[in-house]
């Protein structure tokens, strides 16, 4: 998987790329990460990448020429076998979900543009494929969103996690039909009077599967009824046996 990030804080993304799951995925060449510093694409002696808004108002706006130059440089440097999806990270974007992560994994290459200040010159939106938000809250910039997205997509790449089965039956996944995951238990069998459910100790595979399917549905009803109402998880859903998820169509191209 090929990933590029355009940012004013390259050291933040580089440190993330050198750590843990992503660090290993890069080392084993399952993931390529290119970090494009926005600053050298700035204007003049001070390499300014922002300016005050036309029409007045407080705050600074990221310049379209600098952002597009950085995106183009990142695309060239990434040298992905296919054109990477250009994704703008802002609180105004489409909500990021596990489905989004699966689509991005399936596409195989993407560039994430992180904002700072009051936002981007609106014309940037004509040079990207997709605008994504990781939630209805506003951060100082897109870097934390970029890291959340990279980690959630990278762990879906076969081989990145030790057990390639595990992402298929977890919360929100297609393999779990968009439901929350069923409860898990390990030793000890009893802790301060709390027993592991009997059915899990009997070794009856069909019974265990049925119990887990019921629990996943019950948990989703109790905690996230919106997932059932949204139609991502059918009301009678039961987790399917592990299988590779088929993507629906990728986001619209520019």
Q: Burial level of 26, CB count in 10 A (0-12/13-18/19+)?
A: middle
Cα–Cα dist 57/172, whole Å = 41
In whole angstroms, the minimum distance from the beta carbon of 61 to ligand ADE comes to 14
- β-bridge mates for residue 32, sequence order: 2
Q: Interaction with ligand ADE in 65-104: which residues (CB under 6 A)?
A: 89-91
In whole angstroms, the minimum distance from the beta carbon of 120 to ligand ADE comes to 10
Q: Which is nearer to ligand ADE, 141 or 250 (CB)?
A: 141
- Ramachandran quadrant class, 108 (left: phi over 0; alpha: psi -120 to 50; beta: rest): left
In whole angstroms, the minimum distance from the beta carbon of 150 to ligand ADE comes to 13
Q: Which is nearer to ligand ADE, 23 or 53 (CB)?
A: 53
Q: How is residue 68 written in tokens?
A: 């597009």
C-alpha of 222 from chain center? 25
Q: Which is nearer to ligand ADE, 42 or 142 (CB)?
A: 142
In whole angstroms, the minimum distance from the beta carbon of 201 to ligand ADE comes to 43
Is position 183 an interface residue for ligand ADE (rule: CB under 6 A)? no
Which contiguous run of DSSP H or E holds residue 205? Answer: helix 205-223
In whole angstroms, the minimum distance from the beta carbon of 244 to ligand ADE comes to 29
Q: Which is nearer to ligand ADE, 149 or 233 (CB)?
A: 149
Cα–Cα dist 134/137, whole Å = 8
In whole angstroms, the minimum distance from the beta carbon of 119 to ligand ADE comes to 9
Q: CB 77: neighbour CB atoms within 10 A?
A: 12
Q: Which is nearer to ligand ADE, 119 or 167 (CB)?
A: 119
Q: How is residue 149 written in tokens?
A: 């997205």
Q: Which is nearer to ligand ADE, 54 or 137 (CB)?
A: 137
Tokens 């440089």 correspond to 73
Q: Interaction with ligand ADE in 98-157: which residues (CB under 6 A)?
A: 115, 133-135, 137-139, 141-142, 145
C-alpha of 169 from chain center? 17
By CB under 6 A, name the binding residues for ligand ADE: 89-91, 115, 133-135, 137-139, 141-142, 145
């Amino acid at each position: 998987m090929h990933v590029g990030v355009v940012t004013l804080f390259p050291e933040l993304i580089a440190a993330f790329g050198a750590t843990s799951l992503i660090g290993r995925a890069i080392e084993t060449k399952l993931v390529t990460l290119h970090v494009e510093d926005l600053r050298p694409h700035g204007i003049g002696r001070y390499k300014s990448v922002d300016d005050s808004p036309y029409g007045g108002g407080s705050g600074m706006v990221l310049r379209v020429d600098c952002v597009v130059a950085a995106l183009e440089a990142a695309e060239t440097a990434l040298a992905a076998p296919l054109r990477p999806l250009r994704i703008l990270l802002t609180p105004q974007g489409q909500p990021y979900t596990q489905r989004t992560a699966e689509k991005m994994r399936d596409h195989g290459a993407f560039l994430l543009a992180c904002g700072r200040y009051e936002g981007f010159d609106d014309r940037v939106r004509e040079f990207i494929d997709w605008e994504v938000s990781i939630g209805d809250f506003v951060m100082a910039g897109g870097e934390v969103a970029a890291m959340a997205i990279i980690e959630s997509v990278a762990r879906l790449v076969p081989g990145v996690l030790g057990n390639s089965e595990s992402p298929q039956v977890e919360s929100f996944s297609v393999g779990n039909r968009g439901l929350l995951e069923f409860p898990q238990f390990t030793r000890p069998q009893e802790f301060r009077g709390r027993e592991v459910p009997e059915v899990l100790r009997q070794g009856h595979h069909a019974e265990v599967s049925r119990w887990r399917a019921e629990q996943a549905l019950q948990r989703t009803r109790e905690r996230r009824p919106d997932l059932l109402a949204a139609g991502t998880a059918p009301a009678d859903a039961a987790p399917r046996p592990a299988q590779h998820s088929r993507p629906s169509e990728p986001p619209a191209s520019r």
